[in-house]
Amino acid sequence: MAHKISVLLVEDEKNICDFISTSLVSHNYRVTEAHSGQEALPLITSQCPDLILLDLGLPDMDGMDIIRQVRTWASIPIIVISARTQEQEKVAALDMGADDYLTKPIGTSELLARIRTALRHSNRLNTGSLLYKRPFCSRDLIIDFEKHKVTLAGKEIHFTQIEFKIIALLAQNSGRVMTYDTIISNIWGPYADDDNSILRVNMAHIRRKLEQNPAEPKYVFTEIGIGYRMVEDEMH
């Protein structure tokens, strides 16, 4: 039998737990459930799952404490499950080292897409993949990291150095949300002002160059209150 990808699902709400579990099992994942933090932590260390789906609001513990503890020793991808209104919580979880988040109510296709993306990124990190060498490609957009060249529908587009750095960072993390702070510290350094306005200005320029209709973007999406997400690379 083929190796199944193992997912640890940490969630105390029975309905959500059943729904996610059923969806994943029917798509060939192996799922272990934990309904509290005390149940989850020993399972993480003993089973070392391929991925963790983590509800932040657990009965006995803040999910954030689990992220903090896991990140001291493992890079297992963690996708946070959170309620719609808790933007600050999502940002904090991402900055703490979570890989992505899902907002309740969760749809099956989104759930599966997020899991695939998170697993792909963790594989790349582990295997030193060639992603950073070959160009990013989606629809009409090609970003060549080595040549610092962006083409859209065959036409080269000129970006400033900062703009190129931002778009390259988003493309190298395509499919994942990047928080404002993550982008800012990657581009301007860890001691940069955490004011988002320079980033927003640059993003507006990038969008004007990339998107035919910035109100309906095809390549760079805004996650309101959180950050930006680049469309998934097609050549993964």
CA atoms within 13 A on the CB side of 68: 8
Of the pair 63, 135, the CB lying nearest Ca ion is at 63
Phi-psi region of 36 (alpha: psi -120 to 50; beta: other; left: phi over 0): beta
Per-residue interface string for the shown chain with Ca ion, residues 56-95, x marking contact by CB under 5 A: -x--------------------------------------
Q: Which residue is nearest to Ca ion (CB)?
A: 57
Among 12, 95, 140, 144, binds Ca ion (CB under 5 A): 12
* Closest distance to Ca ion from the beta carbon of 81 (Å): 8
Contact region with Ca ion (CB under 5 A), list: 25-33, 51-59, 76-84, 211-219: 51-59
How far is residue 30 from each of residues 40, 52, 106, 131, 210, measured CA to CA in Å?
16, 12, 19, 28, 40
Q: How far is the CB of 230 from Ca ion (least distance, A)?
A: 30
Among 55, 89, 100, 223, binds Ca ion (CB under 5 A): 55
CB of 117 to Ca ion, least distance (A): 24
DSSP label at residue 29: -
Q: Distance between the two ends of the chain, CA-based, in angstroms?
A: 25
Give just the sign of the alpha carbon dihedral 21, 63, 92, 86.
positive
Answer yes or no: are the C-beta atoms of 56 and 86 closer than 8 Å.
yes
The residue among 12 and 39 lying less far from Ca ion, judged by its C-beta, is: 12
Distance CA 224, CA 232 (A): 19
Nearer to Ca ion, 49 or 63 (CB): 63
Return d(Cα 97, Cα 68) in angstroms, integer. Answer: 8
Stretch binding Ca ion (CB under 5 A), from 47-55, 74-82, 107-115, 197-205: 47-55
Q: Under rule CB under 5 A, which residues in 149-188 are in contact with Ca ion?
A: none
Site residues for Ca ion per CB under 5 A: 12, 55, 57
